[in-house]
Amino acid sequence: MISAVKSKAFERIFTLYNHYYLLRRRFRSFTFSGSLDPQLLDGNGRLLSIAPDQPVVYFMNHSSWWDGLLLYHAAKQTSRGDHYVMMEERQLRQYAFFRKLGAYSINKDSSSGVRTSLQYTRELLAAGKRVWIFPQGEILHQEARPIQFRPGIGLVLRRFPQAVAVPVTLCHGMVQHDLPEISMKAGSPIMEDWKAWKSEEISERLGRVLEQQLDDHRAALIQLGQGSLPGATPLIRGTRSTSEKYDEARRRVNR
Q: State the sign of the Cα–Cα–Cα–Cα dihedral 201, 203, 106, 137.
A: positive
Kindly tell me the number of DSSP H helices and DSSP E strands found in the chain: 8, 10
Pairwise CA distance, residues 133 & 44, whole Å: 32
Classified as helix, coil or strand, 24 is helix
Half-sphere exposure of 102 (CA within 13 A, CB side): 23
Mean pLDDT score, 44-72: 86
The neighbour count for residue 56, using CB atoms within 10 Å, is 24
Mean pLDDT score, 12-39: 94
Mean pLDDT score, 209-229: 95
Closest by Cα among 84, 159, 148, 53 to 114: 159
- Better-scored residue on pLDDT, 248 or 60: 60
Q: What pLDDT is attached to residue 253?
A: 67
Mean pLDDT score, 197-211: 97
Q: Determine whether 186 is exposed, middle or buried from the number of CB atoms within 10 Å of its CB (0-12, 13-18, 19+).
A: buried
SS3 string, 146-173, reads: CCCCCCHHHHHHHHCCCCEEEEEEEEEE
Per residue in 88-111, pLDDT (tens digit) is 999 999 999 999 999 999 998 999
Residue 49 parent element (H or E): strand 47-49
The neighbour count for residue 167, using CB atoms within 10 Å, is 23
What percentage of the chain reaches a pLDDT higher than 70? 89
Beta-sheet strand order (sheet of 233-237): 103-106, 83-88, 130-133, 56-60, 164-173, 181-186, 29-33, 233-237
With cut-offs at 50, 70 and 90, classify the pLDDT of residue 54.
Answer: confident
Half-sphere exposure of 223 (CA within 13 A, CB side): 8
Q: Any idea of the CA torsion for 140, 136, 84, 13, to the nearest 10 degrees?
A: 0
- The partner residues of 49 in beta bridges, in order of sequence, read 39
Q: Determine whether 19 is exposed, middle or buried from the number of CB atoms within 10 Å of its CB (0-12, 13-18, 19+).
A: middle
Pairwise CA distance, residues 143 & 162, whole Å: 32
Per residue in 116-135, pLDDT (tens digit) is 999 999 999 999 999 999 99
- Better-scored residue on pLDDT, 248 or 87: 87
